[in-house]
Amino acid sequence: MRYNLRVSLTDILEFMKHRSRHCFLRLILCCLCLTSLPLSAAQLSGLYAAAVPVTGQTQQERRSAIRQAFAEVLVKVTGNRQATVQPSLQQALQRSLYYVQQFRYRPAPALAPGDGQEVTPPAQELWVSFDARAVNQLLYDSAVPVWGRARPATLIWLAVEDQGRRELVGADTRAELQVALEQEARRRGLPLFFPLLDLEDQRQLHFADIWGNFGDAILQASRRYHSEAVLAGRLHHRADGQWESRWTLYLNEAAAQWSTQGATALEVLAAGVDGATTRLSARYAQRINNGVTGNRVMITVRDVNTLNDYARTLKYLQSLDLVRRVQIVSVSPSQLVFRISIRGSRQGLVQVIAFCGTLAALGSEPGAPPRVVAAGATSSPAPPGLSYRLLP
């Protein structure tokens, strides 16, 4: 059963005039229990779980598979392929059973075909889910940077030349390469998506633009997708059978380039995704000092007009990886002020919020839309701190 409660903050304020603070909080808690609250769609799921192919279900093989799954999770959560080289994490790998929350055997999915040849998948795999809090605590104690669930959506443009055939990857073209890229992106915890390659894309961008890495054209065509990062690559099948690629990651005003080569297309594509993930995590992963109680940030959120809006805002802030504690400082018509205790830096919190698409920055924050106030209306000034508006 779902309830749609249209209670305004003005109604709540009127209630507070006649009731105690204790009664007000009881009202909020009761309404939260009755309200269906969607989680932020931008939060990446599955970071703390991994599946490993197995041939049997013996105790020895299960322990080995759990250790392998735990290593994959540590790489996903940190965004760093070399994370498990840390001595403290090496020790933790030997105690990987301690971090297991649940596991189960299941049929293995089909693998991406390799260079036109079918790949025979294993009969089954072991899926393992690990305790997120315990894993994060391990990384905090080890002073290893943690890349939270909020990650930049990355649009990929890929031009392929294979035996004289030239085409862009996306829509219904080169499905086997799309599957390979998606599998690697899922394994590394990178939100990756492909362009539509519809008439508008075809009008704005051509094969030669990506092959020649013309950044202005690539970024112009990418604007319609509102992605935080753009990955452009070209994949070439050489006459000697080897594959080679060149990649460029566009992020804000910067561009990073690298190239890879290998015996198979899948190997080269995996290296492309790996390079993008490594560069993004190096920028956004947060190193947490576990001995510090955390910084405090004041956040004002406007356009909070109903109790559903209030509850959605509170739930959202509490769900962020960097947030330790959320306190309500004040409630006024259409506006809430929170005091947030965070792990890490204020800038890290700003980056996380920017990725999630629940709050839009106001004032001096980049990309802030103008706030329109109706004639005759008054708007209370926001206290020092970060200012946002709640998106629909």
The sign of the torsion formed by the CA atoms of 325, 331, 345, 82 equals: positive
Residues 171 and 245 in one domain: yes
Mean pLDDT computed over 258-263: 96
Q: How many domains does the chain have?
A: 3
Closest CA to 69 of 103, 108, 109: 103
DSSP secondary structure code for residue 249 in this structure: E
The mean pLDDT of 13-25, rounded to a whole number, is 45
Q: Which whole-number Å values give the CA distances from 244 to 152, 164, 268, 319, 358, in the listed order?
A: 26, 15, 7, 41, 40
pLDDT at 353: 86
Question: pLDDT band at residue 289, thresholds of 50, 70 and 90?
Answer: low
**Which pairs count as long-range contacts for 343-350, CB under 8 Å and 24+ apart, including other chains?**
343/140, 343/286, 343/288, 343/294, 344/286, 344/287, 344/288, 344/295, 345/286, 345/295, 346/295, 346/297, 346/386, 348/284, 348/286, 348/322, 349/297, 349/320, 349/322, 349/323, 349/386, 350/386
Q: Is residue 234 part of a domain?
A: yes
Contacts of 143 (CB under 8 A, 6+ apart): 287, 288, 289, 290
Q: How confident is the model at residue 323 (pLDDT cuts 50, 70, 90)?
A: confident
Read off φ and ψ for residue 320, nearest 5 degrees.
-70, 135
CB 191 within 8 A of CB 184: no
155: which strand partners? 193, 230
- 73 domain-assigned: yes
Claim to verify: residue 120 and residue 171 sit in the same structural domain: no
**Residue-number span of the structural domain to which 82 is assigned:** 49-141
Q: Is residue 19 part of a domain?
A: yes
Distance CA 318, CA 321 (A): 8
Mean pLDDT value across residues 251-263: 92
Whether residues 158 and 269 share a domain: the answer is: yes
Q: Is residue 279 domain-shared with residue 386, that is, in the same domain?
A: no
Q: Indicate whether 316 and 278 sit together in one domain.
A: no
Are residue 299 and residue 365 in the same domain, yes or no? yes
Write down which residue in 141, 169, 197 finishes a domain. 141
> Residue 33 pLDDT more than 70?
no
Say whether pLDDT at 129 is over 80: yes
Q: What is the CATH number of the domain that holds 187?
A: 3.40.50
Residues 65-85 as b/e (b if ≥16 CB within 10 A, e otherwise) read bbbbbbbbbbbbbbbbeebbe
Q: What is the pLDDT of residues 231-246, one digit of tens each?
A: 999 999 999 999 999 9
* Domain match, 158 and 272 both: yes
pLDDT at 290: 55
Nearest to 320 by CA among 365, 356, 373: 356
Q: What is the pTM of this model?
A: 0.74
Write out the two tokens for 225: 């997708």
Together in a domain, 267 and 312: no
Last residue of a domain, one of 83, 113, 141: 141
| Of 354 and 103, more confident | 103
Mean pLDDT of all residues in 138-162 = 92
Structure tokens at 111: 């693998």
Whole-number pLDDT of residue 60: 95
DSSP symbols for 138-199: HHHHTT--B--SB---EEEEEEEEETTEEEE-BTTBSHHHHHHHHHHHHHHT--EE-----H
Residues 268 and 158 in one domain: yes
State yes or no: pLDDT of 2 exceeds 70: no
Domain boundary among 233, 267, 284: 284
**Phi, psi angles (nearest 5°) of residue 289:** -90, 105
Q: In whole angstroms, what is the distance from residue 242 CA to residue 236 CA?
A: 8
Phi, psi of 262 (to 5 degrees): -170, 180
The answer to whether residue 330 is domain-embedded is: yes
Whole-number CA gyration radius for the chain: 24
Whether 218 has a pLDDT exceeding 70, the answer reads yes
- 243 and 130 together in one domain: no
Q: How many CB atoms lie within 10 A of CB 166?
A: 12
Same domain, 168 and 260: yes
Asked if residue 323 and residue 279 are part of one domain, the reply reads no
Q: Taking all residues of the chain, what is their mean pLDDT, rounded to a whole number?
A: 82
User: 365 falls in which pLDDT band (50, 70, 90)?
Assistant: very low
The reply to whether 119 falls in a domain is yes
Lowest mean pLDDT among 179-188, 192-201, 242-251, 364-373: 364-373
